[in-house]
Structure 1
Amino acid sequence: MADLRFLSSPARRRARSRARRAASRGLGKRGRDHVEEVLDRASAFGAPVVARRRNSPSGQRRDGRPGRGRGVKPTPVELSIVLPVFNEAQSLPVLWEELQAVLKTVEDSAEVIVVDDGSTDSSVEFVRLLQVTDSRVRLIRLAANRGLSSALAAGLRAVRGRVVVTLDSDLQSDPRDIPLLLAQLERWDAAVGWRQARRDPWLKRVSSRIGNSVRSAVLGDEVRDSACSLRAMHRRCVDSLQFFDGFHRFVPALLRQAGHRVIVMPVNHRPRRFGVSHYGVRNRAWRGVVDTFGVRWLQARRLRYEAREEPPGTP
């Protein structure tokens, strides 16, 4: 662990160089510029830029200051944003700039939970640099690549906010739509996006259309775009979700199944700028059809009862 305040000038330059190389690998010019900006701030404030201090089991860091161990109670926040990430090092700098602009207009008490799904590029290094200067950023790492459902579930289980937003990190969803969805939560339990004008290759659009048609016919959920990643919901909705492999395709149906009121809102959809999609026709259409019948099975066997506890002496 290197703290730039206590290093000699040559050692400081070496530490800075190592951090720059680790974080800039695979990034575009915008990402490299952001790395330089973060390192400048870290140098000015004496922040650690090479590794993070580990917390002791009691929740105290080794330098005696509070950490995030078992002895520290998590601070509740108003808004939690969950970002599953898999090899999105080029997209993250742009996405972070967009999110910062939105957060300024939405809520000061917020957290951004980045869930790394076993990335092999410099996605994790970039997020660690963000944590140096922004305490709202949290990083959760899966031990290996387990897919979107696992990453999303890990992030949702970790939220501390009263309201939760989910968003993919590939820049196709527009963070500027977040306030639109949040505004609906005054009257609805959840607001989910509908990519009305999708900017995907035709084969991807066709496979999604097949999956949505089958799902809507079997489940009767009347949702045009069940797999849209842009969603906003109250915390109670998150607590009622059933997590399973593929659940991310059925979030609106699962919420309605649990008795929540869900509204569908048109949202902007953008072409992919960097990299390639990590999900193909096989796991998008065929697996979606198979999973639909599994969700229908759960619907048919959902427990329905009313009960109340009566105190002693109740006639």
Structure 2
Amino acid sequence: MNTISIVIPAHNEADNIGTLVQEIVVTGLECEIVVVDDGSTDDTHKRLLALKNTVPSLKVVQHDRAYGQSAAVATGIRQASGAIIATMDGDGQNNPADVPKMVEAILNSDNPNLKMVAGYRKKRDDPPWRIISSKLANAYRRSFLRDETPDTGCGLKVFYRSAFLELPFFDHMHRFLPALIKMKGGDVISVEVHHRPRTAGVSKYGTLNRLWVGIVDIFGVCWLRMRAKNVKITRCD
């Protein structure tokens, strides 16, 4: 079994996915690479299949249609063989060079309850309007969920596969992973990571629809947290 699996959701990222996979290989990290083609209508799947000829650690999974990022992440994690999962976006804005230090942080932690290391894009290479809207959304989320995570929207996260599989699944859950992990009693820390501009393709999210969906989902996560019970077994004979 591979210890580490990198899971990448990709929808119409034909011009980005090949470079991203090659960058992961260059890091030298021994890992499985699982890319989930979420119903792309461009050449994403074709280019991924071509990459398998030179990247034996690459596993390609294809959805029959686009189900969204959360569904693609969940599919990739279920198909992954690693006990440690690293997720990153398929647009190339996350830097694979940050993954090894995040893996080291979770594996070498003296906190046995640490379940996730979340990326923090302190210096973002995005248009000003996107940076401002993201900061407002993060502040709003923290005020309600108290997840103590400055940048939950960063796709770069490292966590235990077993911890993810215990979480309730719902659309857009990928934006709330730190809060959901904490809801289950796990600890989360954030580390600063690099952020790069998108060089090809277009963003799949608009500011207004992201904000509205995020507000609705926050109330849903608040409800889940209030109803959650973490049962601890003290004895089993």
What is the alpha-carbon distance in structure 2 between the residues aligned to residue 177 and residue 133 of structure 1?
23
What is the alpha-carbon distance in structure 2 between the residues aligned to residue 223 and residue 84 of structure 1?
22
User: Which residue in 1 is equivalent to 2:46?
Assistant: 125
| 1:310 to partner: Cα distance | 4.6
Letter in 2 for 1:164: I
> Does the CA-based 8 Å contact 1:193-1:228 persist in structure 2?
yes
Secondary structure class of the residue paired with 2:169? coil
User: Which residue in 2 is equivalent to 1:178?
Assistant: 99
User: Which residue in 1 is equivalent to 2:215?
Assistant: 289
- Residue by residue over 1:66-116, the C-alpha shift from the partner in whole angstroms, topping out at 9 and shown as x without a partner, is xxxxxxxxxx211101010111111122212211111x2x22xx2111101
What is the alpha-carbon distance in structure 2 between the residues aligned to residue 148 and residue 261 of structure 1?
24
User: Which residue in 2 is equivalent to 1:224?
Assistant: 150
How many percent identity over aligned positions?
37
Secondary structure class of the residue paired with 2:77? helix
Letter in 2 for 1:182: V
Worse overlay, 264-273 or 204-213: 204-213
What is the alpha-carbon distance in structure 2 between the residues aligned to residue 156 and residue 306 of structure 1?
25
What is the alpha-carbon distance in structure 2 between the residues aligned to residue 305 and residue 90 of structure 1?
46
| 1:206 to partner: Cα distance | 2.4
Is 1:196 the counterpart of 2:122? The answer is: yes
Is 1:264 the counterpart of 2:185? The answer is: no
Worse overlay, 250-259 or 200-209: 200-209
| 1:308 to partner: Cα distance | 4.5
Letter in 1 for 2:142: S
Structure with larger RCO (C-alpha < 8 A, sep 6+):
2
User: Which residue in 2 is equivalent to 1:239?
Assistant: 165
User: Which residue in 2 is equivalent to 1:248?
Assistant: 174
User: Which residue in 2 is equivalent to 1:148?
Assistant: 69
Secondary structure class of the residue paired with 2:217? helix
User: Unpaired runs of 5+ in structure 1?
Assistant: 1-75
TM-score by length of 1: 0.71
| 1:283 to partner: Cα distance | 2.5
Is 1:299 the counterpart of 2:220? The answer is: no
User: Which residue in 1 is equivalent to 2:32?
Assistant: 111
Is 1:215 the counterpart of 2:136? The answer is: no
Query: Which one of 79, 90, 93 corresponds to residue 158 of structure 1?
Result: 79
User: Which residue in 1 is equivalent to 2:15?
Assistant: 90
Letter in 2 for 1:281: T
| 1:145 to partner: Cα distance | 1.0
User: Which residue in 2 is equivalent to 1:135?
Assistant: 56
- Residue by residue over 1:6-27, the C-alpha shift from the partner in whole angstroms, topping out at 9 and shown as x without a partner, is xxxxxxxxxxxxxxxxxxxxxx
> Does the CA-based 8 Å contact 2:117-2:159 persist in structure 1?
yes
RMSD: 1.4
Is 1:274 the counterpart of 2:195? The answer is: no
Letter in 2 for 1:194: Y
What is the alpha-carbon distance in structure 1 between the residues aligned to residue 203 and residue 42 of structure 2?
15
Secondary structure class of the residue paired with 2:53? helix
What is the alpha-carbon distance in structure 2 between the residues aligned to residue 154 and residue 236 of structure 1?
14
User: Which residue in 1 is equivalent to 2:26?
Assistant: 101
User: Which residue in 1 is equivalent to 2:5?
Assistant: 80
- Residue by residue over 1:144-176, the C-alpha shift from the partner in whole angstroms, topping out at 9 and shown as x without a partner, is 111111111111121110211001111111111
Letter in 2 for 1:150: A
- CA 1:310–1:88 in structure 2 vs 1: closer, same or farther (change >3 Å)? closer
What is the alpha-carbon distance in structure 1 between the residues aligned to residue 153 and residue 10 of structure 2?
16
> Does the CA-based 8 Å contact 1:181-1:232 persist in structure 2?
yes
Letter in 2 for 1:232: V
Letter in 2 for 1:217: S
| 1:194 to partner: Cα distance | 0.5
| 1:202 to partner: Cα distance | 2.1
What is the alpha-carbon distance in structure 1 between the residues aligned to residue 131 and residue 205 of structure 2?
12
| 1:122 to partner: Cα distance | 0.7
Q: Flag the structure with larger Rg.
A: 1
TM-score by length of 2: 0.93
What is the alpha-carbon distance in structure 1 between the residues aligned to residue 25 and residue 199 of structure 2?
20
